[in-house]
Amino acid sequence: MLRLSQLFVRTLRDDPADAEVPSHRLLVRAGYIRRVAPGVYSWLPLGWKVLRNVERIVRQEMDAMGGQEVHFPALLPRDVYDLTNRWTEYGDNLFRLVDRRGADYLLGPTHEEMFTLLVKDLYSSYKDLPVLLYQIQTKYRDEARPRAGLLRGREFLMKDSYSFDLDDAGLQLSYDTHRATYQRIFERLGLPYVIVKAMSGPMGGSMSEEFLAPIDVGEDTFVRCTSCHYAANTEAVTTALPVISELDIPAPKNIPSPDCPTIAALVNLLNAQHARVDRQWTAADTLKNVAVMLRHPDGTTEPLVIGVPGDREVDMKRVAAQLSPAEVDAFDEASFALYPALVRGYIGPSALGLISTSGIRYLLDPRVVIDSEWVTGANQKDVHVAHLVYGRDFKSDGIIEAAEILSGDPCPLCSSPLEIASGIEIGHVFQLGRKYAEILGLSVLDKNGKPAVVTMGSYGIGVSRAVASIAEVFHDDLGLRWPRAIAPADVHIVITGKGDDGTTDFANSLSAQLETEGLEVLLDDRAGVSPGVKFKDAELLGMPIIVIVGRGLAAGTIEVRDRLTNTSSEVSSDTVAAYIVTLARSDD
Amino acid sequence: MLRLSQLFVRTLRDDPADAEVPSHRLLVRAGYIRRVAPGVYSWLPLGWKVLRNVERIVRQEMDAMGGQEVHFPALLPRDVYDLTNRWTEYGDNLFRLVDRRGADYLLGPTHEEMFTLLVKDLYSSYKDLPVLLYQIQTKYRDEARPRAGLLRGREFLMKDSYSFDLDDAGLQLSYDTHRATYQRIFERLGLPYVIVKAMSGPMGGSMSEEFLAPIDVGEDTFVRCTSCHYAANTEAVTTALPVISELDIPAPKNIPSPDCPTIAALVNLLNAQHARVDRQWTAADTLKNVAVMLRHPDGTTEPLVIGVPGDREVDMKRVAAQLSPAEVDAFDEASFALYPALVRGYIGPSALGLISTSGIRYLLDPRVVIDSEWVTGANQKDVHVAHLVYGRDFKSDGIIEAAEILSGDPCPLCSSPLEIASGIEIGHVFQLGRKYAEILGLSVLDKNGKPAVVTMGSYGIGVSRAVASIAEVFHDDLGLRWPRAIAPADVHIVITGKGDDGTTDFANSLSAQLETEGLEVLLDDRAGVSPGVKFKDAELLGMPIIVIVGRGLAAGTIEVRDRLTNTSSEVSSDTVAAYIVTLARSDD
């Protein structure tokens, strides 16, 4: 039994100054966590109980699917991460340190290398496979923008697992099994989720999906089709390509365009001075070329120009996901000064491309299809060029999914409109394939005694992030509302009587009865605290059932509140224990 | 059930090259752990189970004594550790790092500051006390000599707890309760221990005791009295002082002593040229002055001379413990060149002391009592001085327990002979007092509304080190022998039959029966592995009961081995399940 008179917790009436999102605000106010440094938190007793409940569910399900638990250090020597170049590729996101002997170490952001080498150390035959290993372990990433409390931390608890298979079919099976396990885990946690197609990020690999909890404060944006099953992180959305019908396009022609460095000004000029007969010019007729500066992990920089239809913004998150591990910076004054080939406001294809005189790499959004016609910059101040046809009049160095996705865009599978929402990444499954096994030399002898490179999957759940995600989903204006499976206690009993009126005795005996039934009880036995304060605390702390033992006891009634529905019942004191037990088990 | 055919484990026939001690050798050979870097290990499934079993017992007992579990980050900002000066004092033992914004961080070696500040954050009244908080958390120390596998690691798992009391009596009670809990924990773990008086080390504080597991490979040396209850780490032994009877001592007199830079040569010279009438000169008549160079945490160095009776060596571990946080280096050629006042082999008190011309600090072992008479160096090459009386003819800057403790030395309490043994520090309890609370401003309002500084205790158990300590105590030439409470499985069933002879079916059904009884079973169901290899693996892996299902089954008998006693019984296959259950519970 947890007695509030002794429990190490203090609630705060005011929101912490730095809290941006409800989970952060409430977890701090309710005394579940405390901030130690940006993105680094301490867990107080109630918070720690929630975290351990989440951890227990994750562990049970990982064990149930045949996972074997191991545990790697967080402090890792550099050499292994040099082999895969991630020591460099992780850039500023890696916490690096030097030991007393001058050796380089890092704090592990993820453990692909370590798992691969461990399996290589122990296994050598196809008979040993498949194997599925996991750990629940503290990870470190020096995030540029730690934010939102536990949602994006720099020290956080993760379950990461890795599957090792002999062939693609085995990997697919491991992947599917993991995906099903993750569905069970999030269902047990009570956490709603959407499974979306994902970018694989700096880990490499092919097939990859994210589990997103659809919450407005989420950092991830995803689309889902209003008609078919398609869903994807916007970083990973593929574009439904426009079809080109026009074939007989005049030769390119320069257009004087003084003071038209913006798409809006250009469209106005076109409609005013070069009116079409068929329709008005729109931004969709223009090609916008946006320069960015890439910072590669080795410290070098590279200018890059990205072309998108003028009616779309460049979505920097999508771009960054595809250019990773390079980081994408804005192209500022100093950059323009360094690269005079780029005329601000008038950048155009004629000066772009690795084989052009400027040598600046030029990537196009896939919406810019072969044979499409554009009005775009002419690389001279106050001049644009019309009738420029991609493929006929200019080339690019490749494709990049760069344009922002808009609500109503066509689904790449069925062309129905897509809808857009925000979410928190709570899980990630992906097929790494043979990349790590090849670099690190993990192969086994197959049935014919020939070495076969092992194929891997990598799977993660943010355990501490799950706590915050659940708090995001389950709270109201009054406070937290924990799902039963992970609540620090099943029942919060509030004594509002004076002690000598039998309320304390009744509450103690009720607590004992409930604990006999296997329920965990938090008892507010504080003396000298007003009922109002106790109610407010109970609502803030968020146990799923609140029981009030007070004035009603004399008349034989106890108030039982369901914190999840915020409904309340008066129950006879004789039957209240049974009532609570039934309620507590109602969604088991 | 754990099936060896699928379990992620491989045993090694050969000892790892770097393994110095049995626990390290066996834990690696049996596939419990793997080395990642010096003092940094990964846990494989069997090892992880043992570690979690130890952790569970520690947590249960901490909860039972009213401890409340919290969890601090390992990544900690510098500022807090600056307040207590430990950022500097920890010297090279601290892992330091800088984040992407240039802020200084450390990896927590211990969390006194964080706990103190957390209680300060939440609590403000005497009514809130006492409180006892703990965590089971990964700690980091950049040890100069990581060694012996898990016994001295750089990343390790610790339970650390902290008590907060209003007054000394409260602290004493918290301390005593902790001490009793530790006794219960080590008894449940099956780990023998001796409680010894300890130095408090860089944490400050007063009363302090260590729990040492008496094992030869242990790094700590302790004494215990052969008669009374006295026991102490040699670092913390206090010296029984000699009594001086001689009072009428002649004036000091220089003695030419060419080629006598050693005590042995000096004693020979004295007996040859200055023979005593009453007895022979011995090394105990001489005062040996040993120079060392201190390296302070701020990087400065300081010469120091330590005087001990010539029949004793200076025990550098004792000295280091008392001079911490300064580190003690040898006084080398270069140091002698820097300090010409010190004449190598002839160092003597006349040139020593802060107020001497050299200004070099001079500390004496307490065996050098006031009025004691010595032959010692005269600070000139080839000259010693006799009849030098401490107090009359020379002074010191203080006392340091420096002389090595020898078996048979008198107990400081009862003068009976002390015995010396080695041990591994498995626990540490100590009364910090008000040091941290004062520096960090942790006070509460007392009954009279006046601020009172809180007094603290600090208590640690090395959880990962306990695993290795248990392996040190419980092993033989064949392998590990886990106590039941922490074994990864209760029973190891070996199938030595061919499968079609009923052995596999029997073993499977026996395993199921035992699991129904709540026992954990490790089943060696590997095909194509010889009985000899299976036996060797069973002995190496170390489950407390080994059951052999083989040829005897046809005749209705099963062999049951007790790995702890290495005895074996033939049991009827009809009753073997009940027999095993009884055996497995025999020491519950």
Summarised one tens digit per residue, pLDDT across range A166-183 is: 999 999 999 999 999 999
Q: Which residues contact B216 (CB under 8 A, 6 or more apart)?
A: B422
Chain A interface, mutation test: which of B1, B63, B93, B97, most A Cβ atoms within 10 Å?
B97
Q: Are A305 and A363 in contact (CB under 8 A)?
A: yes
How high does pLDDT run on average in chain A? 92
Tokens describing residue B391: 């107090």
Instruction: Give the number of other Cβ atoms within 10 Å of residue B56's Cβ.
Output: 13
Query: Are A66 and A519 spatial neighbours (Cβ–Cβ below 8 Å)?
Result: no
pLDDT at A587 over 50: yes
| Residue of A73, A123, A131 with shortest CB distance to B40 | A73
Write the pLDDT tens digit of every residue in A539-575: 999 999 999 999 899 899 999 999 988 899 999 999 9
Average pLDDT, chain B: 92
Q: Taking CA B179 as the corner, what is the angle to CA B177 and CA B185, rounded to the nearest 5 degrees?
A: 105
Task: Specify the pLDDT at position A203.
Answer: 47
- Hey, which bits of A5-84 come out as E strands? 33-37, 40-43, 68-69, 75-77
Put simply, whether A114 touches B (Cβ < 8 Å) is: yes
pLDDT, tens digit (0-9, with 9 covering 90-100), for B177-201: 999 999 999 999 999 999 998 876 5
Neighboring chain A residues of B131 at a CB cutoff of 8 Å: 6, 8
SS3 state of residue B240? coil
Q: What is the DSSP letter of A544?
A: S
Smallest Cα distance from A132 to chain B, Å: 9
- Overall residue count recorded for chain A in this entry: 588
pLDDT digits (tens, 9 = 90+) for B430-484: 999 999 999 999 999 999 999 999 999 999 999 999 999 999 999 999 999 999 9
φ, ψ at A6 (rounded to 5°):
-115, -15
Structure tokens at A90: 């992780």
B-facing residues of A in 417-476 (CB < 8 A) are none
Tokens 């040859």, located at residue? B272
Residues of B whose CB is below 8 A from A74:
74, 138, 155
Could you tell me which residue, B588 or B538, shows the higher pLDDT? B538
Asked, as a colleague might, if the bond just before B258 is cis with ω within 30 of 0, I would say no
Tell me the three-class secondary structure of B425-473, residue by residue: EEEEEEEEECHHHHHHCCEEECCCCCEEECEEEEEEEEHHHHHHHHHHH
User: How far does A419 lie from chain B, in Å, by closest CA?
Assistant: 37
What residues 218-237 of chain A have any CB closer than 8 A to a CB of chain B?
none
A522 close to B (CB below 8 A)? no
3-class secondary structure, B285: helix
SS3 B74: coil
pLDDT (0 to 100) of residue B201: 54
For residue B249, what are its two tokens?
């001592």
Amino acid letter for position B499 = G
- Residue B387 contacts residue B251 (beta carbons within 8 Å): yes
A314 neighbors A306 (Cβ within 8 angstroms): yes
In this predicted model, which residue has the larger pLDDT, B474 or B241?
B474
Q: Which residues of chain B make contact with A463, given a CB cutoff of 8 A?
A: none
Query: Which chain A residue lies closest to B100 (C-alpha atoms)?
Result: A92
Q: 10 Å Cβ neighbour count for B571?
A: 20
Q: Do B43 and A71 touch (CB under 8 A)?
A: yes
Question: Residue A430 above 60 pLDDT?
Answer: yes
**CA B149 to CA B153: how far, in whole Å?**
7
**Is A105 in CB contact (< 8 Å) with chain B?**
yes
Which residue shows structure tokens 């916490």? A95
CB atoms under 10 Å from CB of A567, counted, come to 9
- Asked if the model's pLDDT at residue A207 lies above 60, the reply is yes
Q: pLDDT tens, B387-397?
A: 999 988 999 99
Cβ distance B142 to A99 less than 8 Å, yes or no, reads yes
Residue A201 pLDDT level (bands cut at 50, 70, 90): low
Model pLDDT, residue B203 = 47
Range name among A142-156, B4-18, B526-540 with the lowest pLDDT average: A142-156
Integer distance in angstroms from the first to the last C-alpha of chain A? Answer: 22
Q: Is residue A92's pLDDT more than 60?
A: yes
Q: Which of A6, A100, A156 to mutate to test the interface with B (most CBs of B within 10 A)?
A: A100
CA–CA separation, B222 and B214 (whole Å): 9
Q: How far is B375 from chain A (nearest CA, A)?
A: 43
User: How far, in Å, CA of A50 to CA of B257, rounded?
Assistant: 76
* Chain A residues near residue B142 by CB distance under 8 angstroms: 99-100
Distance in angstroms (rounded) separating the CA atoms of residues B110 and B114: 9
Output the six-digit token pair for B231: 């026991």
Question: What interhelical angle do B463-473 and B22-29 show, nearest 10?
Answer: 100
Tens digit of pLDDT for each residue in B78-128?
A: 999 999 999 998 888 999 999 999 999 999 999 999 999 999 999 999 999
Contacts of B31 in chain A (CB under 8 A): 122
In percent, how much of chain A has pLDDT > 70?
Answer: 98
Q: What angle do CA B325, B330, B334 make, to 5 degrees?
A: 120
Distance from C-alpha of B586 to C-alpha of B588, rounded to nearest angstrom: 6
CB proximity list for B259: less than 8 A, separation 6 or greater? B265, B382
Which residues have CB under 8 Å from B28's CB, separation 6+?
Answer: B12, B15, B16, B19, B34, B35, B149
* Cα separation, B386 vs B390, whole angstroms: 12
Residues of A (33-72) whose Cβ lies below 8 Å from B: 34, 36-37, 40-45, 48, 51, 66, 68-72
E strands, B166-243, where?
194-197, 208-213, 220-225, 231-233
Task: Tell me which range, A94-103, A407-416, B247-256, B275-284, is most confidently predicted by mean pLDDT.
Answer: A94-103
Look up the pTM and report it: 0.88
Res B248: pLDDT? 83
Burial class (CB in 10 A: 0-12, 13-18, 19+), B96: middle
For residue A129, give Cα distances in angstroms to A388, A533, B274.
56, 58, 83
B517-532 confidence digits (pLDDT tens): 999 999 999 988 999 9
DSSP sequence for A206-268: S-EEEEEE--TT-SEEEEEESSSS-EEEGGGPPPPPPPP-----PPPEEEE-TT--SHHHHHH
Among B8, B53, B80, most A C-beta atoms within 10 A, so best to mutate, is: B8
Q: Which domains does chain B have, with CATH numbers?
A: 16-192+434-472 (3.30.930.10), 253-389 (3.90.960.10), 489-584 (3.40.50.800)
Strand B418-433, strand B208-213: pairing: antiparallel
| Per-residue pLDDT, B159 | 98
Whole-number Å distance between alpha carbons of A546 and A490: 9
Helix residue ranges per DSSP H, A131-207: 168-189
Q: Which residues fall within 8 angstroms of residue A159, CB to CB, at 6 or more apart?
A: A55, A58, A59, A62, A134, A135, A136, A460, A461, A463
The pLDDT of residue B495 is above 60: yes
Query: Is pLDDT above 60 for B202?
Result: no
Q: Which residues pair with B520 in a beta bridge?
A: none
Q: What is the DSSP string of A346-408?
A: ---GGG-STTSSS--EEEE-TTS-TT-EEEEEEEETTEEEEEEEBTTTB--S-B---BPP-TT
Q: Is the model's pLDDT at B216 over the cut of 60? A: yes
Instruction: Give the per-residue pLDDT at B325.
Output: 82
Reduced to 3 states (helix: H, G, I; strand: E, B; else coil), residue A66 is coil
